[in-house]
Amino acid sequence: MSHSSPASEAVSALFRSRYARLVGVVALVSGSRAEAEDCVQDAFLKAFDRWDHVSRLESPEAWVRTVALRLSSNRRRKARNMFKALTRHGPPRDEPSPEADQVDVARALRRVSTGQRQVVVLHYLVGLGVDEIARELRVAPGTVKSRLSRARVVLGPLLREEISHV
């Protein structure tokens, strides 16, 4: 006799088919695979708890991704606030610039803000359009365009350097 419900089977199927992709997306935004795994797993737990709602959405995967990205953002904000509290007696150390021959996409993405990383990953790696990203992140389309533009200014030279060293 099986103890699984239709909801648990549906969430399990979504988990099996989308987990790796979601972890990859969140890891690129957060800069940490371990954090991404934690956030995606937590997002799936929330999806299970709210499956009546999530199952009726056009894209349950987008809901899980949005929740995972918010969880990651919240963790980063908490860590940043903790770091600020710990460093009140002196300035934080400057991050060393990566060597040109060591630049890769993940490292390059760490050079832009979390908001910029979110839109870059969702646009270029997930393939979402500006309006879709705006809805998912709950920001104006102009904000998405602005973040993409600012990120391109920073990422363009870094990624061109990487390509020229290949």
pTM: 0.59
Name every residue whose Cβ is closer than 8 Å to that of residue 160 and which is 6 or more positions away in sequence.
none
- Residue linked to tokens 């690129």: 28
Characterise 95 by phi-psi region: left (phi > 0), alpha (psi -120 to 50), beta (else): beta
Report how far residue 32's alpha carbon sits from residue 53's, in angstroms, rounded to the nearest whole number: 29
Report how far residue 64's alpha carbon sits from residue 111's, in angstroms, rounded to the nearest whole number: 26
Contact 40, 64 (CB under 8 A): yes
Contact 120, 109 (CB under 8 A): yes
Digit-by-digit pLDDT tens for the chain (166 residues) are: 445 788 889 999 999 999 999 999 999 998 889 999 999 999 999 999 999 999 999 999 999 999 999 999 888 887 776 666 555 654 445 555 544 433 467 777 888 888 888 998 898 888 899 999 999 999 999 999 999 999 888 887 776 654 444 4
- To the nearest 10°, the Cα dihedral for 4, 58, 147, 114? -10
Report how far residue 10's alpha carbon sits from residue 84's, in angstroms, rounded to the nearest whole number: 42
